[in-house]
């Protein structure tokens, strides 16, 4: 039966009723209200928690009643003040033992003009200042008043629009002390709350915080009846809004109070945890308030650390939600991560501690691995179509990883103490390696959607930036530690044994790996200048490339199972073995699948192709052989190259009796010398030059070879370390360079290395040449756009330049005959060059031109070897300015990243160009005629 509507109690009456039930004398309340309660509590201090609970329960009743009356009819806008505002007002009376507003106003006035930290919170598109002279990193900024009250004369500052965040003035971890404004002197200036106030605020606040946590936890309690709606949710939401408002008021009134509140919150058991989880439970509007409060509180360093610890534990759960839905839009539901990751991960000391003590980097890499694994196909590589749905989420994680590894401390720690993290990184790259391959269309013209085309390139861009930062540590000297391998091993193992890390790494494996490192570097340690982690990394990278190509048992396992994600997990697990365990004689790298020793008539074919080179009749036999092994048709107009017989007989590497052919997982076919023992040692260990058969014009080619780019980066850094601008010229002898490569390659053989490693960068070059020649017209825009991306400035460093350098290294390790012949074959120009002009095609002249340009670049390009930074800058600037005038920012944008960030930029610019007078908004640079 519908209950007769009782005259509604006012919120104050409700609270008073509760208090009376608690034992507070009625007449005292009726006459003096809050002051009456204070008088009562003076004599009954032990009742504080009971009274607090009673006051809060009044708020809960109002909230629940409102909810159910709203359900009856949607007109319940009678009393729109927050359900808890009356309760909180009473509690504040208890805290301050006086009229709260008066106390807070008082505090605000007494501390006016002498705050230690600014902490103004920005909204979208608020104005702020950056100052390159004062900032700790590029994410720091201060508000307009702070800029105006500070002294930034002669500093390099700029104005910007923010996307949120808060002012860094007064925060010594973000901003130089000299750049603080006159009103903010730094967090250590904050005075503690007076003893008396602390003892009255503390107990009530603690009770309130406990209640808050309980109400949030109730929302996710599983006992909810489905049809009952979510009264718990709305109660928790109203409570959160009210408390956040109240505490924000506290925080803005007094820093002492802020610091006190932050301490109580971080010490309240599980509250921070509940507050982060609240994001999955409460409404967005409510969370906005909560986040604003948290942003204020993290200006307090101790709070920031405690919050950060909880915050990073929140990553895996959040991303697993997003990944499960395979939808980037889900990430919009979780504002906590984008709001706070910049605030936390950019602070050097804090981040380093989180990485060391709480495995922050491990958590981020694991999230990325899980994300990638959710998008891999049967081939254990990322599927662009599926991954495209998680593009933004991937970038979010990559951005965060970039913040974390940008601290040098972190990259050094990873290099010397956490080899498991670099292995995780390499495994991530292995999942990306070979993604989004393109195949030439020869029949019908297809107009495919290219919406995801750019994403893998952007991914490569980010991977490049991160690995540049991540690898830095491996090339730094170990600091105070002795730079011997023994020390490295022992610190690594020590690191593993510490309780924190034990969960994340397998001690046994790590020590094994370090044995590999130490034994292999010792061979050439006489003139060694490369730190052990660097050589170790190069070797791991090579092993990963090998594993990616070899049709080993792991691959077989992979394709024979169905659930792709567990397969890929297996793949990663097996890759872990390759990366950690030394390749002893017993460990099989290649199964018998995909590999076969030619027998019978095939033997002759395999052998013949070498001896009967140039005879057109032989070609069909050659192709037959390929067909028999089951590889895709590898011989159309552009791909039927042959290894020509060399006059000096150097390349008679394949003996007719028993040449080995191996089908690699990328579709290429490898003919190797029978003695090469590929099955035991792996393809990178072949002592003789194998012949690789692959046709870019008819087989799948991918632009995305991050493992190669990592290798290129490592070699570049290694060469810079040994022969860089600081190294003395007399050290750069040929002997030195031989030693260098033997140190870098460790157990790998030069021919095995060069012949295999050169393949994929070379194929990308051939791809671009074919696009220019018009061979890929029927593929629509995709091929053209890819080729354009490849040479764009943004991608140059991890694309074209990186690949060219790697090919130069391969050239240095090859015999010229083999190297050039392989290039000719890959370009499909063997016949053209040998002047066997029986079959011609329209593409050959352009391909020829492209190949010659390529060869010239291989010989002449000195961007990463032999040229100083200043030389490189000079060259780039002349090219840019010769085309026309440019503004300073246009110049900076057009330069490759390593050059645009060089400290020599300004001096080189000054030597080449003059500033013209600022006209309007622009400062124009003009190339001076020298």
Residues that bind Zn ion (CB under 5 A): 118, 120, 131, 133-134, 143, 146, 152, 155, 167, 169, 179, 181, 184
Tokens, residue 905: 């930029």
- Looking up tokens 């028993």 gives 658
Query: Of 114 and 500, which has the nearer Cβ to Zn ion?
Result: 114
**Could you tell me the smallest distance in angstroms from the CB atom of residue 190 to Zn ion?**
14
**Could you tell me the smallest distance in angstroms from the CB atom of residue 296 to Zn ion?**
13
The helix (run of H) or strand (run of E) holding residue 671 is: strand 669-672
Query: Of 140 and 463, which has the nearer Cβ to Zn ion?
Result: 140
**Could you tell me the smallest distance in angstroms from the CB atom of residue 171 to Zn ion?**
10
Residue 487 burial class via C-beta count within 10 angstroms: exposed 0-12, middle 13-18, buried 19 and up:
middle
Query: Of 158 and 502, which has the nearer Cβ to Zn ion?
Result: 158
Query: Of 174 and 572, which has the nearer Cβ to Zn ion?
Result: 174
Q: Are 591 and 551 in contact (CB under 8 A)?
A: yes
Query: Of 141 and 404, which has the nearer Cβ to Zn ion?
Result: 141
Query: Of 127 and 561, which has the nearer Cβ to Zn ion?
Result: 127
**Could you tell me the smallest distance in angstroms from the CB atom of residue 265 to Zn ion?**
23
Rounded-to-integer distance, Cα 271 and Cα 265, Å = 7
**Could you tell me the smallest distance in angstroms from the CB atom of residue 176 to Zn ion?**
7
**Could you tell me the smallest distance in angstroms from the CB atom of residue 135 to Zn ion?**
8
- C-beta atoms surrounding 490 within 10 Å: 15
Strand order in the sheet with 886-887: 886-887, 924-927, 913-915
Query: Of 143 and 208, which has the nearer Cβ to Zn ion?
Result: 143
Query: Of 169 and 469, which has the nearer Cβ to Zn ion?
Result: 169
Rounded-to-integer distance, Cα 860 and Cα 856, Å = 6
**Could you tell me the smallest distance in angstroms from the CB atom of residue 299 to Zn ion?**
11
Look at residues 761, 730, 794, 29 and name the one whose alpha carbon lies nearest to residue 458.
794
Tokens, residue 603: 């033997």
Query: Of 136 and 869, which has the nearer Cβ to Zn ion?
Result: 136
Angle between helices 816-827 and 800-813 (to 10 degrees): 140
- Looking up tokens 């840019």 gives 880
Q: Are 719 and 865 in contact (CB under 8 A)?
A: yes
**Could you tell me the smallest distance in angstroms from the CB atom of residue 305 to Zn ion?**
22
- Looking up tokens 């409510």 gives 286
**Could you tell me the smallest distance in angstroms from the CB atom of residue 238 to Zn ion?**
32
**Could you tell me the smallest distance in angstroms from the CB atom of residue 174 to Zn ion?**
12
Tokens, residue 214: 């309980």
HSE-up (13 A, CA, CB side) for residue 703: 28
Tokens, residue 537: 């990394």
Look at residues 805, 774, 771 and name the one whose alpha carbon lies nearest to residue 786.
771
Query: Of 131 and 634, which has the nearer Cβ to Zn ion?
Result: 131
Query: Of 120 and 393, which has the nearer Cβ to Zn ion?
Result: 120
**Could you tell me the smallest distance in angstroms from the CB atom of residue 301 to Zn ion?**
17
Which residues are CB-neighbours of 590 under 8 A, at least 6 positions away? 550, 551, 552, 662, 678, 679, 682, 683
The helix (run of H) or strand (run of E) holding residue 596 is: strand 595-597
**Could you tell me the smallest distance in angstroms from the CB atom of residue 189 to Zn ion?**
12
Query: Of 129 and 260, which has the nearer Cβ to Zn ion?
Result: 129
Q: How far is CA 95 from CA 35, 52, 201, 270, in A?
A: 12, 11, 4, 23
Q: Are 150 and 169 in contact (CB under 8 A)?
A: yes
Which residues are CB-neighbours of 191 under 8 A, at least 6 positions away? 255, 256
Q: Are 249 and 292 in contact (CB under 8 A)?
A: no
25: which DSSP letter?
-
């Amino acid at each position: 039966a519908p209950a007769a509507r009782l005259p509604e109690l006012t919120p104050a009456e409700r609270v008073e009723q509760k208090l009376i039930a608690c034992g507070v004398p009625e007449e005292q309340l009726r006459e003096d209200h809050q002051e009456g309660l204070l008088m009562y509590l003076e004599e009954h201090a032990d009742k504080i928690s009971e009274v607090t609970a009673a006051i809060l329960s009044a708020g809960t009743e109002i909230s629940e009643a409102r909810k159910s009356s709203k359900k009856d009819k949607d007109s319940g806008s009678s009393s729109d003040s927050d359900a808890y505002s009356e309760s909180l007002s009473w509690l504040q009376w208890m805290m301050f033992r006086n009229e709260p507003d008066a106390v807070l106003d008082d505090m605000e006035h007494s501390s006016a003009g002498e705050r230690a930290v600014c902490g103004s919170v920005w909204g979208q598109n608020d104005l702020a200042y950056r100052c390159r002279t004062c900032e700790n990193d590029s994410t720091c900024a201060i508000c307009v008043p702070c800029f105006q009250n500070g002294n930034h004369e002669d500093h390099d500052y700029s104005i910007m629009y923010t996307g949120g965040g808060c002012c860094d003035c007064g925060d010594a971890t973000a901003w130089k002390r000299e750049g603080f404004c006159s009103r903010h002197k730094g967090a250590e200036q904050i005075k503690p709350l007076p003893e008396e106030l602390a003892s009255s605020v503390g107990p009530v606040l603690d009770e309130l915080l406990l209640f808050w946590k309980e109400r949030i936890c109730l929302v996710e309690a599983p006992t909810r009846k489905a049809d009952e709606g979510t009264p718990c949710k709305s109660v928790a939401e109203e409570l959160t809004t009210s408390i956040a408002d109240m505490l924000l008021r506290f925080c803005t009134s007094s820093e002492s109070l802020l610091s006190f509140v932050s301490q109580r919150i971080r010490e309240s058991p599980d509250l921070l945890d509940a507050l982060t989880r609240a994001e999955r439970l409460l409404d967005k509007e409510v969370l906005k308030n909560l986040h604003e409060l948290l942003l204020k509180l993290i200006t307090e360093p101790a709070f920031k650390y405690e919050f950060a610890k909880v915050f990073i534990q929140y990553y895996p759960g959040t991303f697993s939600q997003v990944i499960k839905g395979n939808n980037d839009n889900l990430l919009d539901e979780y504002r906590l991560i984008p709001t706070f990751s910049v605030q936390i991960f950019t602070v050097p000391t804090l981040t380093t501690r989180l990485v060391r003590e709480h495995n922050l980097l491990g958590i981020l890499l694991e999230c990325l691995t899980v994300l990638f694994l959710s998008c891999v196909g049967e081939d254990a590589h990322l599927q662009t179509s599926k991954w495209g749905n998680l593009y933004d989420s991937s970038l979010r994680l990559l951005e965060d990883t970039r913040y974390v590894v940008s601290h040098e401390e972190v990259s050094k720690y990873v290099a010397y103490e956490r080899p498991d993290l670099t292995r995780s990184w390499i495994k991530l790259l292995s999942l990306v390696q070979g993604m989004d391959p393109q195949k030439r269309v020869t029949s019908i013209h297809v107009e495919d959607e290219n919406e995801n085309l750019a994403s893998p390139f952007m991914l490569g861009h980010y991977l490049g930036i991160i690995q540049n930062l991540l690898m830095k540590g491996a090339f730094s000297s170990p600091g105070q530690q002795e730079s011997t391998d023994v020390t490295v091993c022992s610190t690594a193992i020590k690191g593993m044994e510490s309780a924190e890390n034990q969960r994340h790494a397998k001690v046994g494996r790590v020590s094994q790996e370090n044995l590999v490192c130490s034994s292999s570097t010792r061979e050439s340690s006489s003139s060694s200048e490369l730190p052990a982690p660097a050589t170790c990394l190069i070797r791991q990278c090579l092993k990963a490339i090998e594993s990616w190509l070899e049709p080993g048992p792991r691959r077989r396992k992979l394709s024979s199972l169905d659930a792709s994600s567990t397969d890929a997990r297996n793949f990663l697990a097996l890759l872990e073995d390759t990366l950690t365990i030394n390749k002893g004689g017993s460990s099989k790298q290649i199964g018998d699948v995909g590999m076969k020793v030619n027998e019978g008539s095939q033997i002759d074919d395999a052998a013949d192709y070498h001896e009967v080179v140039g005879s057109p009749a032989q070609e069909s036999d050659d192709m037959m052989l390929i067909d028999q092994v089951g590889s895709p048709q590898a011989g159309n107009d552009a791909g039927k190259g042959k290894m020509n017989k060399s006059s000096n007989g150097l390349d008679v590497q394949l003996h007719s009796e028993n040449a080995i052919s191996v089908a690699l997982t990328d579709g290429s076919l490898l003919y190797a010398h029978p003695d090469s023992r590929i099955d035991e040692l792996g393809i990178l260990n072949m002592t003789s030059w194998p012949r690789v058969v692959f046709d870019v014009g008819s087989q799948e080619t991918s632009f995305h070879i991050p493992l190669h780019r990592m290798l290129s980066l490592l070699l570049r850094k290694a060469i810079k370390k040994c022969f860089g601008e600081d190294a003395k010229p007399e050290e750069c002898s040929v002997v030195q360079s031989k030693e260098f490569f033997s140190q870098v390659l460790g157990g790998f053989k030069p021919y095995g290395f060069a012949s295999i490693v050169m393949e994929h960068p070379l194929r990308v070059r051939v791809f671009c040449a074919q696009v220019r020649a018009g061979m890929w017209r029927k593929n629509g825009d995709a091929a053209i756009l890819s080729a354009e991306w490849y040479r764009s400035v943004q991608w140059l460093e991890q694309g074209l330049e990186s690949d060219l350098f790697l090919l130069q290294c391969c050239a240095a390790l090859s015999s010229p005959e083999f190297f050039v012949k392989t290039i000719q074959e890959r370009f499909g120009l063997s016949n053209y060059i040998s002047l066997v002009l029986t079959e011609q095609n329209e593409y050959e002249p352009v391909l020829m031109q492209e190949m010659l340009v390529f060869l010239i670049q291989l010989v002449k390009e000195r961007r990463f070897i032999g040229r100083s930074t200043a030389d490189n800058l000079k060259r780039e600037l002349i090219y840019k300015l010769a085309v026309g005038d440019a503004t300073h920012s246009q110049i900076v944008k057009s330069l490759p990243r390593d050059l645009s960030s060089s400290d020599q930029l300004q001096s080189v610019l000054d030597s080449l160009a003059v500033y013209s007078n600022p006209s309007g908004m622009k400062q124009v640079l003009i190339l001076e005629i020298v």
